[in-house]
């Protein structure tokens, strides 16, 4: 079976459309599983971080990485409430002003929100 010149171009165009649609899906990084942090002596409970919950709100990994956090766990340094209250680490967004998914993000120093991160 021999294809005409226009048939070949049609086939090439169809292939380009398919690859253009699949390319961005293949380029998305795999979202890491939830992970826990060591509980500090004054911590009210263990903290588990969910990349998938944050990805829903921010859409792009670059919202946090590399501006606020390094790409690998442990490379940014020890997470502390003092640092967060000063507006670094989680406090860079959890400041009561930053919007994510059309909602203002809760603050790290509001006692009513402790259980959102610290689980007993």
Whether the per-residue pLDDT at 112 is higher than 70: the answer is: yes
**SS3 assignment, position 103:** strand
Distances (CA, A) of 5 to 2, 12, 110: 10, 11, 68
Residues 6+ apart with CB under 8 A from 83: 89, 91
- Quote the percentage of the chain above a pLDDT of 90: 33
**How remote is the C-alpha of 118 from its chain's centroid?**
19
Per-residue pLDDT tens over the stretch 46-100: 999 999 888 888 878 888 898 899 988 788 888 899 999 999 999 999 999 999 8
- Domain covering 30-119 assigned CATH 1.10.150.450 in the classification: no
DSSP 65: B
The total number of residues written for the chain in this structure: 120
- The pLDDT value recorded for residue 83 is 93
58 membership: H or E segment, kind and range: helix 51-58
In the chain, % helix, strand, coil (3-state, to 5) comes to: 40, 10, 45
In this prediction the pTM is: 0.69
**SS3 assignment, position 100:** strand
Whether the per-residue pLDDT at 23 is higher than 70: the answer is: no
Q: Are 90 and 108 in contact (CB under 8 A)?
A: yes
């Amino acid at each position: 079976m021999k294809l005409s010149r226009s048939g070949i171009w049609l086939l090439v165009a169809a292939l380009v459309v398919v690859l253009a649609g699949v390319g961005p899906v293949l380029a998305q990084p795999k979202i890491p599983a939830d992970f826990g942090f060591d509980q500090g002596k004054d911590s009210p409970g263990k903290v588990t971080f969910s990349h998938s919950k944050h990805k829903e709100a921010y859409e792009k990994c670059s919202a946090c990485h590399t501006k606020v956090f390094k790409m690998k766990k442990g490379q940014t340094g020890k997470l502390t409430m003092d640092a967060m209250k000063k507006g670094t680490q989680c406090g860079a967004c959890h400041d009561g002003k930053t919007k994510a998914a059309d909602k203002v993000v809760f603050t790290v120093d509001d006692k009513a929100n402790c259980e959102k991160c610290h689980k007993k």
